[in-house]
Structure 1
């Protein structure tokens, strides 16, 4: 979960937030609180429905029906494909610090990206345990530079660098809404532990703990890192930085620090790509197992891994990644990335809505604890709606169209499913 949430993007976040002023730190606080509500929902759902492989898809389908489940899975699948392409591009960009040819030679950049995609596709076909070992190593290595700057940087901050407080020209609440939407994207992946539940030992207990602990670790890194970087580098300088953590490290430790921070960015991207590759195999497998997606996605190898789904996902990611390096297709790729924002938030909305339904089914009213369950569901649902509104009208409108584009696949799946039932 930590490996999926903390990707390469967090290394750029302080620069993206600098133009708002130090009010952006409150954006982190609000998104952390909202993410806590969502984490509790996913944590509780993993205990109520421990067999729910596919995470948000399984919860939405169980609580709201096949169509809702399909919409969640379809949007989630396309969104993670775009996200994985963007992560691959970040990985290649970080490596260019050590291999400058990657910044100037398109062929070299594309081949490096393809190499990363297919290496990690192969790793994930070796089983969840193998993928988990890679994730553990890369997560530790990516956290080291972040923690060094997040904690060590507290001794280098200057109070004057936090001025102005609100540089947006709007109200404080408006600034918080805008920054909380941006920072929420750093918490995408909060549901990751629930996706491969069918391959997790004692999922009800393990996934619940992983979700809450993962949120705590990520929040500490995000908030302390942002405070340190914004306190070390003046706002006017920071908003034009393309490597804010590296620039802070140079101030703290000297010019050589830039390289180990860049290595951290590369490792962060590589680890996140590994984790999301696992997710991209499990989600279509869960839909196909319920006969709402082509049966080819249910094929497993000797390790019990849905390898066909991973291979197909690898092809899609490769195409999306290559679009970024193809003149004339860059704008289309960025447009797809924008749409993924909305389709990532919809599963959270549906999961929050499903929580009370599943809670009622698994634990009747007489069992108690209903007031806290209602409050949690309402807060998680309202927070997600707020984030969707903050994503902008364009993301919502075109994201809805993207979701509806999957309806023909759903209709085909239902038709095939009914034929199978009639024949049986």
Structure 2
């Protein structure tokens, strides 16, 4: 009997690792050093690790207990608070994915610019043209079949992990405990980095949380593609294996340099920091190797985030929260129309790099805020379902997962939440079309929620025009 076609457990694990390890890890040490000393950074890792672990446990519990909800985070959000909630989660995930690709494009071309001056900076016309070509090449690859794209992604994951492992090994061999524990809570660093201003341990942790959260985005990748897995249990196992792999890589890659260079040296390291740190220790070959790794890593993450957003629109069409044409599959079971729409949006947005230097910041901010809302809704449904089943342990996990995501949104700042509301204005039009197509009457509560979001979006646009909110 022939085995079922689909993405293997290892393929799903590679997808999680590849989609999470993008550009962030190559600059995380410098970003963390600017925010926190060794002690507060470790506490931030512990705090975020607990929150992300609770999210993963929630995803796995819901996948196990509600296997009929094959739409993953979209289905959980819909089950939690209704169709509009499912749409809000799915639309936010779709936005987060393709907007994040704009950041990948900028960083990739900037890294290429270190070898080819024509692309220096990553925001000129030659860089944009190459980025657009890559957008459509990756869309073409995914259009040839989701499973084949996943296989390519697994190979890319292995290739990009090699320079990261080399970096960790060299940092480990160069590690000095005396350097690591010196100024453990940042008293001396406050004078150097903050002009003598005292920065509390809590404030250092707060500034570290969003840096850490960004590098974990993608941990839900196996859950999004659960219906493509060979076995449902593969998605659950892949999520745990992916999380364990990511935590090991991230903690070692970000914290070991604290034992090689001082916090001030790390904080002032130019980006991509990892390449420049390695150059300081072993010479120019280290910088070259890491920049090559950055290019491979970005391409791998870009492939993952070409795959995930269009799969999300398929799930949304299946849940009847988007018009059916978004989920229409070709002969190779790939969503061609969704790929074209998503690729077109990326192409248009790439040209904004010529008009403003803040395009990357906008993409990063909106992507982070949007996906935190998706994660929050997972925690909410984990709480609701566990309460209905009187499973109090899982209910506590849901409280931790939802509470952490809500706190992360608060720490991100009110401006990011308001900016996200603008992106839902066109989305509600598609939701209304889907309701008309599938005969769903929009309820009074749904109308009230959409009116509130539209009101917030209009206020945000006004604040942007007045300069109260700045994307920088």
TM beyond 0.5: yes
Residue number in structure 2 paired with 1:181: 210
Quick check: 315-324 or 206-215, which moved more? 315-324
Aligned partners of 1:2 and 1:217 also within 8 Å:
yes
Residue number in structure 2 paired with 1:85: 102
Residue number in structure 2 paired with 1:376: 397
| Among candidates 34, 43, 47, match of residue 51 of structure 2 | 34
Matches within 5 A, 1:86-235: 86-103=103-120, 106-158=124-176, 159-160=178-179, 163-164=182-183, 165-166=185-186, 167=190, 169-203=198-232, 205-235=233-263
For 1:135 and 1:419, locate their aligned partners in 2 and report how far apart those are by CA, in whole Å.
38
For 2:59 and 2:385, locate their aligned partners in 1 and report how far apart those are by CA, in whole Å.
12
Per-residue deviation, 1:359? 4.7
| Among candidates 291, 294, 299, match of residue 320 of structure 2 | 291
Residue number in structure 2 paired with 1:347: 374
Per-residue deviation, 1:146? 1.2
Per-residue deviation, 1:53? 4.3
Aligned partners of 2:23 and 2:298 also within 8 Å:
yes
For 2:69 and 2:333, locate their aligned partners in 1 and report how far apart those are by CA, in whole Å.
17
- Give the TM-score, by structure 1 length: 0.91
| Among candidates 47, 61, 84, match of residue 67 of structure 1 | 84
Per-residue deviation, 1:54? 4.0
For 1:300 and 1:405, locate their aligned partners in 2 and report how far apart those are by CA, in whole Å.
23
1:301 is paired with a residue of what secondary structure? Answer: coil
For 1:177 and 1:261, locate their aligned partners in 2 and report how far apart those are by CA, in whole Å.
29
| Among candidates 90, 93, 102, match of residue 76 of structure 1 | 93
Aligned partners of 1:163 and 1:235 also within 8 Å:
no
| Among candidates 23, 29, 37, match of residue 21 of structure 1 | 37
Per-residue deviation, 1:371? 2.1
1:406 is the counterpart of 2:411: no
Give the gaps of 5 or more residues in structure 1: none
Per-residue deviation, 1:406? 2.9
Residues 163 and 320 (structure 1), Cα distance of their counterparts in 2 relative to 1, 3 Å cut: farther
Aligned partners of 1:229 and 1:244 also within 8 Å:
no
Give the gaps of 5 or more residues in structure 2: 1-15, 442-472
Residue number in structure 2 paired with 1:395: 416
Per-residue deviation, 1:352? 0.8
Per-residue deviation, 1:416? 2.7
Listed one character per residue, the Cα deviations across residues 9-34 of structure 1 (whole Å, up to 9, x for unaligned) are 11001111112222223222221121
Moved runs in structure 1, 4+ residues, more than 6 A? none
Residue number in structure 1 paired with 2:283: 254
For 1:111 and 1:163, locate their aligned partners in 2 and report how far apart those are by CA, in whole Å.
47
Aligned partners of 1:190 and 1:215 also within 8 Å:
yes
For 2:50 and 2:440, locate their aligned partners in 1 and report how far apart those are by CA, in whole Å.
47
Work out the number of aligned pairs and report it: 411
Per-residue deviation, 1:198? 1.9
Residue number in structure 2 paired with 1:320: 349
Residue number in structure 2 paired with 1:11: 26
Listed one character per residue, the Cα deviations across residues 321-352 of structure 1 (whole Å, up to 9, x for unaligned) are 2322x13x333553343222211100111111
Quick check: 397-406 or 21-30, which moved more? 397-406
Listed one character per residue, the Cα deviations across residues 99-127 of structure 1 (whole Å, up to 9, x for unaligned) are 22211682321122112211111111121
Aligned partners of 2:75 and 2:319 also within 8 Å:
no
For 2:69 and 2:345, locate their aligned partners in 1 and report how far apart those are by CA, in whole Å.
26
For 1:303 and 1:49, locate their aligned partners in 2 and report how far apart those are by CA, in whole Å.
28
Residues 379 and 174 (structure 1), Cα distance of their counterparts in 2 relative to 1, 3 Å cut: same
For 1:336 and 1:85, locate their aligned partners in 2 and report how far apart those are by CA, in whole Å.
7
